[in-house]
Amino acid sequence: MGNPNTGKSTLFSALVGVHQHVGNYPGVTVEKKLGRMRAGRQEFEVIDLPGLYSLAVRSRDEQVALDVLLGRIDGDQPVDAILCVVDAGNLCRNFYLLSQLIELGRPMVVAVNMVDVAERRGMRVDCSLLERRLGVPVVPTQAHRGIGIDEIKAALLRVRGTPPPELEQVFPAEFEREAELLEGEFDSCGMPRCACRRFRRGMVRRMLLDVHGRMHCGLDPAARSRWLSLLDSARARLGEAGVELPGVEPPSRYAWAQRVLDGVVSVAADRPPTATDRIDRFLTHPIFGLAVFAAVMAVMFQAVFLGAKPLIDAAAAGVDAVSGAASHILPEGALRDLIVDGVIAGVGSVVVFVPQIAILFVFIAVLEDCGYMARAAFLMDRLMVRVGLSGKSFIPMLSSFACAVPGIMATRVIEDERDRLATIFAAPLLTCSARLPVYGLLIGAFIPDYRWVYGIVGLQGLVLGLFYLLGIVAAVATALLLKRTVLRGESPPLLLELPSYKRPSASVVVMRVAQRVWVFLRTAGTLILAISVLVWAALYFPRNTPTVGPLLAQRQAIEAVRSALPADLAEDDPRRTSLDEQLAELSRAIDMEFQQHSLLASAGRWIEPVVRPLGWDWRIGCAVMASFPAREVVVATMGVMYQFGDLEEAADKDIDRVSRQLRSVRRDGSDEPAFTVPVALSIMVFFALCIQCGATLAVIRRETNSWRWPAFAFAYMTTLAYVGALATYQIAAWLALRWA
Amino acid sequence: MISNADCPLCDLSAGQAGRIVRIHGKAEHVHRLAEFGLRPGVTVRMFRPGTPCIFQLGESKVCFRQDRQLQVFVEPMPHRV
C-alpha cells in the first residue's frame, strides 16, 4: 500500500522478481497485481494495491483496496501484514494514509522509500526515532537499487501476528466515545465476526466517517437498517458537539502526523531548485513544453508506424509459415480449411497487431515511469477541457490513432468513471492503422492524382486528411454528446501530483508491457477466434455448388498429366512449372466459385436492399459483413467477391490496373458500374465510423466489465456509419449527376 | 467576508507564495483536497500560473484546475528576493 509515486511498483518488483501476474478483481476493472515472495523458508503472496491518498471510499480503487485489507473479497482472508510504502521526501502527506492503515490493526511494516532522493534535497529522516514513536518496524529503502529489500522481508516475518500499538489519540474525544459505543453494538448488528478488537474499532471509525455510505456492509437488511440508524444518531450527536463528519478527519490526521514527525525529519533551511524544477521550467512551458510534447508524440508515431513495419512483416510471415506448414500436414478437406483459413487466419489477424501495440505500450510505460505522463496531462488539459474531458484523456485518444485497443487499455489512469467511459467511446472513432489499407486502396483507385504547388499538395493526400479529420470530429462530438446526456454529472476536481523525474526502470517497463500484451492476446484472441471461425464457416459452406464440377474434372486431368511427366525432370522445367501454375489458378477459381455461392454470399444478396441506398451491391455488402471481426480483411474479401485474386498485393504493385479493374465491374444484370467515386466515398465513410473490430469490442467489455457498453458502442457506431455512408452516397451521387 | 488581500490561487504569479485561507466548493471535493494536504493554513508556492496551474506544496508539485465549482483562495505573501 502507499501513495501514488512512492516507488511502490518498483519495490513490489524488487520483492517478488518475475513471479508476478496481473488480473482483474472480480466485478471491477481494477488491476490485481499478485506476486510470490520468498522470505526465510516460507513463501508469501504479495498484493500490490493501487496507489491511494486515502482509504475514504470514493472510487473503485479505494473500494478494492479496503476490501482486500479487510478480507472482503470473496474467499480471501484479511491480509497477514501490510507493507506501507512512504516517500521519504513527503512524509507528512504520506502519513495521512499511514495513520488510516495503522488503525485497521493489521501487523504493519513501513518502508521509507527514496531516502537517497530526499537526502540529495538536504532532508534527513531519523528512521529509528520514527520506529520508536510508531511502534512498528520502519525500514529505509532505495527500491530501484534493491537496498533495504532483505530488511523488509525480515521485518515482515517479525511482525506476523503482532498488531501495531494503538495510535495516540488522533480524533477528538467525542468521536472516540461514539466509536466505542458503536463498537459495543458491532456484534449484535451481525457485523462480520472478527477476533481482533483493534480491527473492529478501525472498521467502526471508517464507517462513521463514510457519510456517503459507500462501504457496502454486506449485512442482512434488518441488521443493516439498525446499524445505519445507530450510525446516524451517533453522527447527529457529533454534529451537535461541533465535530463535523467527515471534515474532522484531515485536520486530525495531519495534526497527528505533525506530532509524530516532529524532530524526525530535518529539512534544509532553503529549498534549492531541484533538477526536476529545472526540467519542468522547460517542459511545462506554454510554448517550449508543447513543442517538446509534439516532438515526443511524433517520435512515438514514427516508431509505431515505421519501427513496427519489419516486425509486422515478420509476424505476418510467421503466420504464413504456420498456415503453410498446416496445409502440408493436414489432409485436404473441411478440417484443414477450418484450421488454416479459420483458426490460423483469425489468430494471425490478432498476432500481426502485436508489434504495433507492444511499441505503443513501451512508449506509454516509459512516459509513465519517468514522470512525463503527468506533464503531458497538464499540457493537454486546456485543450481537452473544451470537449468536456481532462488532460488525462489525451494519451489514450492519441494512442487510438495507431490502434484503439491500447488506447482503451490506457484509460485506466482516468479516475473519473464518466470521463473514462466517454474516452473509451471516442477512441474507436479515431483513424486507426487498420483503416489505412481500405483508404489506401479506394483513394488510390478512385481519387484522381491531382497535384498543386509543385506537386507537394495532392488531392489524394487531402482526402486522406479529410478522413482523419472526420474521425476526430466524430470522436469529439461523441465525447461531448455523451458527457451532456448519459454521462452527465459533475467532474471531480483535477488534482494531479507531478512526480519527480527519474530514469525509467527497465524491469517495471518490461513487466508492464508484457502484462498488457498478454491481456490483449487473451482478450482479443478468444473473441476474434470465435468470430473468425463463424465468418469462415459462412464463407465455406454449403459447398455444394454444381458449377464447380467441370473445374474439378479439369484439375484432375491436369494432375494426371503432371504425374505422367518423367520423374527425373528438373524442378524448374517449364513443362512442370506451367502445369503447376495452371493448377494454382484452378484451385483459386474453385475456391472463388464456392465462396460466390456460400452462406455469406446468400446473406449478402439477402441484405442487398439494406445496403442499396449506400450505393453498394451485394458483393460489397458481403465484404463489409465479413470485415466485422477485423476491418482490414475487407480488401481481401472484396478480391474474392469480384474474383480479382489478391487485391492487396495487386494494389501495391499497380494501382492503376486495380483502378481499371474496379471501374470495369458491372452490377449484376445491368450495365451500371459497381464502383464509382460516390460508392468509394460511401465505403470509406462507413469504415471511418464503424466499429469493425472484435478486439476493440472485447477490450471495451473487459474495461467496462459488462457486455452492455460494447453492445451500445457497436449499435451506436454501426448506426452512425450507416447514416454517414448513406448521406455521403446520396449527396455525392447527386453532385456527380449535376456535374455530368 | 472576503478581504481585499485574498485572491484565487491561480492568480499568484510564478514564484510567489501564498497561504491558503479558505476553499469554496462541494464538501466532498473540499474534503478530497484536504486529504491531499491542500487545506487552510498551508503555504504553497506557484510554479506555473494559469488554468490549470502547477504549484509547489511541501515537497511535491501539484497540477490543479480551478473552476467555478471549486475555488481555493490564498493570502499572497510578499515576493521572496
Q: Is the peptide bond before A26 cis (omega within 30 degrees of 0)?
A: no
- Chain B closest-CA separation from residue A434 CA (Å): 36
**Average pLDDT for residues A482-487, to the nearest whole number?**
88
Measured CA to CA, the distance from residue A616 to residue A674 in angstroms comes to 7
Using the CB atoms, write b or e for A40-73: b if 16+ within 10 Å.
Answer: eeeebebbbbbbbbbbbbbbbbbbbbbbbbbbbb
pLDDT above 70 for A216: no
From chain A, the residues in CB contact with B31 under 8 A are: 56, 246-247, 249-250
Per the CB < 8 A criterion, the answer to whether A344 and A323 are in contact is yes
Rg for chain B (alpha carbons), in Å? 12
Q: Which pLDDT band holds residue A195 (cuts at 50, 70, 90)?
A: low
From chain B, the residues in CB contact with A93 under 8 A are: 36-37, 58, 60
pLDDT above 80 for A265: yes
Q: Which of A524-533, A719-728, B44-53 is least confident?
A: A524-533
- pLDDT for B81: 40
- pLDDT tens, A266-324? 876 667 788 888 999 999 998 999 999 999 988 887 887 777 778 878 888 888 888 88
- pLDDT for A28: 66
- pLDDT tens, A528-551? 777 778 877 887 887 777 777 888
Which class is domain B7-76?
Answer: mainly beta
Measured CA to CA, the distance from residue A424 to residue A111 in angstroms comes to 36
pLDDT above 80 for B14: yes
**Average pLDDT for residues A656-679, to the nearest whole number?**
82
Q: What are phi and psi of A288, to 5 degrees?
A: -60, -40
Three-state SS for A496-527 is EEECCCCCCCHHHHHHHHHHHHHHHHHHHHHH
Measured CA to CA, the distance from residue B11 to residue A648 in angstroms comes to 58
Q: Which residues contact A111 (CB under 8 A, 6 or more apart)?
A: A11, A83, A84, A85, A86, A139, A141, A143, A148, A152
Q: Is the peptide bond before A163 cis (omega within 30 degrees of 0)?
A: no
- Chain A closest-CA separation from residue B42 CA (Å): 11
Number of Cβ pairs < 8 A linking chain A and chain B: 99
Three-state SS for A178-245 is HHHHHHHHCHHHCCCCCCCHHHHHHHHHHHHHCCCCCCCCCCCHHHHHHHHHHHHHHHHHHHHCCCCC
- pLDDT tens, A266-278? 876 667 788 888 9
A493–B33 CB contact, under 8 Å: yes
- Chain B closest-CA separation from residue A93 CA (Å): 6
**Average pLDDT for residues A40-64, to the nearest whole number?**
84
Q: Which pLDDT band holds residue A74 (cuts at 50, 70, 90)?
A: low
Q: Search chain A and give the residue with CA nearest B41.
A: A251
Q: Locate the domains of chain B by residue range.
A: 7-76
A498–B28 CB contact, under 8 Å: no
- pLDDT for A128: 92
DSSP A391-426: GGGHHHHHHTTT-HHHHHHGGGG---HHHHHHHHHH
From chain B, the residues in CB contact with A272 under 8 A are: none
- pLDDT tens, A77-117? 778 899 999 998 889 899 999 999 998 888 999 999 988 88
Q: Which pLDDT band holds residue A220 (cuts at 50, 70, 90)?
A: low
Q: Which residues contact A411 (CB under 8 A, 6 or more apart)?
A: A393, A396, A420, A423, A424, A427, A703
C-alpha cell at B70: 471549486
Average pLDDT of the residues of chain A? 84
Pairing mode of beta strands B43-48, A495-498: unpaired
What percent of chain A has a predicted confidence (pLDDT) above 90? 20
Name which of B5, B10, B15, B6 is nearest B70 in CA terms. Answer: B10
Rg for chain A (alpha carbons), in Å? 32
Distance from chain centroid for Cα A289: 27
B 31-60 residues inside an 8 A Cβ radius of A? 31-39, 47-48, 50-52, 54, 58-60
Q: Which of A33-42, A687-696, B35-44 is least confident?
A: A33-42
Look-up of cell digits 531516502: A115
- pLDDT for A279: 92
Closest in A286, A377, A496 to B62, CB measured? A496
Helices A459-484 & A677-689 angle (0-180, nearest 10)? 40
- Note whether B26 contacts A: Cβ–Cβ < 8 A: yes
- pLDDT for B53: 93
pLDDT above 80 for A174: yes
Per the CB < 8 A criterion, the answer to whether A370 and A503 are in contact is yes
pLDDT above 70 for A219: no
Helices A372-385 & A354-370 angle (0-180, nearest 10)? 100
Q: Which of A129-133, A650-654, A688-692 is least confident?
A: A650-654
Q: What are phi and psi of A206, to 5 degrees?
A: -65, -40
Q: How many CA atoms lie within 13 A of A688 on its CB side?
A: 26
**Average pLDDT for residues A126-130, to the nearest whole number?**
91
pLDDT above 70 for B80: no
**Average pLDDT for residues B19-29, to the nearest whole number?**
89
Q: Search chain A and give the residue with CA nearest B67.
A: A493
- pLDDT for B1: 44
